[in-house]
A and B are shown apart, each in its own frame.
Chain A
């Protein structure tokens, strides 16, 4: 299916086109990796809604990226349960190994490092989400093994 067809299929689930902006942005982001201005405009045009409505949502929700992110987006949870199980040390470890701070991307474009709020998987704290996958019960050794896999 083309992006337009996917967005139309999503829009059919709602009585209002505006409701389909969020699903459409998720579809567009999957397609393009992130959401630059022209993609936002395309989404607005496909749905036939005001552009400002689309911009508004793309900037409100944290899972939408208007700037490019690395191939592997390391999203380490540092909320309470993960903090209690050592997330802070893991963040330090990642920063040192990758040579970047949180919010930054490695110069080869491979990794972006972020901290995120609770991922809803506190039973396996500390947890990191990378792409679609959760990696739990992390320690320095498991983290190293993961990074090696990605590279």
Chain B
């Protein structure tokens, strides 16, 4: 069995308390860093490890950190993206609820590496338990000298604050998150400049996902080679996979990066429900294009999934079985993106509105022959023409559903009904 690294503490009854974390060697990496390493060495170590962002885009973390300007009079900020809104994704919640100190240690080491004295953790407001646990853990860490002025007797000043979201998926997009933190409506900013150069309050800002930051203390403790030795060289490390939908054992699984999607579903998550067959899998949250059953031998890493036209995204693996209508699934996903569109750019706001209408019509058995072409045209109009990746994700997902399950769309139109509603 693969050794649990990130999920080591989550099943302990008091895994969220400082004493449990310390008992497992917690905060050892922070102490080591402050004793033995310069910030530059930590950036280099993380670069060597090849850690890539677990928020979905897979950008190399060490490289992102190295873009933070060294000579600047401005304060630098670290932001943790804990907005976790991607349907099918729940890994960050479980880390924060059951092992919040792992995140805090990751924040402290990362803050030291980039030269930030303040970190904000942007958590979605629905995560009440996670917010409470993290608040409690921050207070414990301050009392124990892991946070605050002169961390562990060194000259590092570093503190962490929680900022609660209030129910908007778009806040997970990093520049929308910055707008939200500054007290404005969460609408994305144009990149570049990237936040590493000009982010929160126009200061250099590193934004990383919860799971990304949670990897950092382990890299410090065990070395870059250890991390790189797990999974494919270009996308290495232990990885959290969120499995949900029509499967026997939905849950959070920690396995190496690059594990075959089929193995994850059949061996770890128990396969389909009795008497059913897997029809399709969305491998990385609803922004990731769907993969038909025949494609399940793909490896769960950034390169392998991109090569088959999908993406690892947030590793929210949603299993759809043969009793479910793909038109309905596609409709629900596009409805979601339409609902969450911030409205800033027309192709996303209007294009998705239109796509929802056409999809609902097809699902209701009222579609016409031209509708599929129209959906195709709408995808073309949206993809590549929007301000942020929300529009792109919606268009890519819809395109994949149309491509792999065209027979189901056609059947709806020809039979004037949903073949799955008897």
Central interface residue in A13, A83, A117, by most chain B CB within 10 Å: A117
A-B contacts besides A18-B183, A80-B318, A120-B93, 19 pairs, CB < 8 Å: A16-B182, A20-B183, A57-B184, A62-B167, A78-B332, A79-B87, A84-B244, A84-B319, A85-B246, A117-B169, A117-B339, A118-B86, A120-B89, A120-B92, A122-B87, A122-B250, A123-B243, A123-B252, A124-B250
Tell me, in angstroms, the Cα distance from A22 to B336 when the chains sit together.
Answer: 24
A117 close to B183 (CB less than 8 A): no
- If A15-B201, A120-B127, A122-B87 touch, whether A80 touches B332 (CB-CB below 8 Å) is yes
Q: Is the CB of B87 within 8 A of A123?
A: no
A129 to B332, CA, bound (A): 20
Q: How far is the CB of A71 from chain B (nearest CB, A)?
A: 17
Size class of the contact patch on chain A = 35 or more
Residues of A within 8 A of B (CB): 13-23, 25-26, 49, 53, 56-57, 60-64, 78-81, 83-85, 116-125, 129, 132-134
The answer to whether A117 touches B340, judged by C-beta atoms less than 8 angstroms apart, is yes
Q: Is B183 within 8 A of A57, CB to CB? A: yes
State in angstroms the CA–CA spacing of A136 and B319 once bound together: 18
Return B198 CB to nearest CB of chain A, in Å.
15
CB pairs A–B below 8 angstroms (5 shown): A21-B183, A62-B168, A81-B88, A118-B86, A122-B89
- Chain B 159-183 per-residue mask, 1 if CB under 8 angstroms from chain A, else 0: 0010111111100000000001111
Q: Does any Cβ of A come within 8 Å of B186's Cβ? A: yes
B251 CB-CB contact with A under 8 Å: yes
| Contact flag A80-B286 (CB < 8 Å), given A18-B183, A20-B183, A85-B245 | yes
A residues near B182, Cβ cutoff 8 Å: 16, 18-19
Q: Which of A14, A56, A62, A122 contacts B242 (CB 8 A)?
A: A122
A96 to chain B, nearest CB (A): 20
Q: Which residues of B contact A124 (CB under 8 A)?
A: 250
For the complex, give the distance between the alpha carbons of A121 and B251 in Å.
9
Q: Does B329 contact A (CB under 8 A)?
A: yes
- Counting CB contacts under 8 A, is B21 at the interface? no
Residue B301, interface by CB 8 Å: no
In the complex, whether B8 has a CB less than 8 A from a CB of chain A is no
Q: Closest residue to B180 on the A side, CB-wise?
A: A22
Question: Range of interface residues on chain B?
Answer: 35 or more
CA distance A132 to B130 in the complex (A): 11
B12 within 8 A of partner (CB): no
Tell which of B86, B92, B125, B329 has the most Cβ of chain A within 10 Å. Answer: B125
Contact between A122 and B90, CB atoms less than 8 A apart: yes
Q: Which 10 residue pairs are nearest across A and B when measured between Cβ atoms?
A: A61-B166, A18-B183, A122-B244, A62-B167, A118-B87, A63-B167, A81-B244, A63-B166, A132-B128, A79-B87
B261 to chain A, nearest CB (A): 17
CB contacts (< 8 Å) of B336 on chain A: these are 79-80, 117-118
Contact of B22 with A by CB under 8 A: no
In the bound complex, residues from chain A placing their C-beta under 8 Å from that of B169 are 117
CA distance A81 to B246 in the complex (A): 8
Shortest B249–chain A CB gap in Å is 9
Question: B89 to A60, Cβ gap below 8 A?
Answer: no
Q: Which residues of B contact A133 (CB under 8 A)?
A: 128
Bound complex: CA A79 to CA B86 (Å): 10
- Are B166's CB and A62's CB within 8 A? yes
Q: Which of A14, A17, A63, A122 has the most CB of B within 10 A?
A: A122
State which of B84, B319, B332 has its C-beta within 8 Å of the C-beta of A120: B84
Q: Give per-residue flags for B65-94: 1 if the beta carbon is below 8 A from chain A beta carbons, else 0.
A: 000000000000000000011111110110
Interface residue? B322 (CB, 8 A): no
Q: How far is the CB of A30 from chain B (nearest CB, A)?
A: 11
Chain A contacts of B88 at CB under 8 A? 80-81, 118, 122
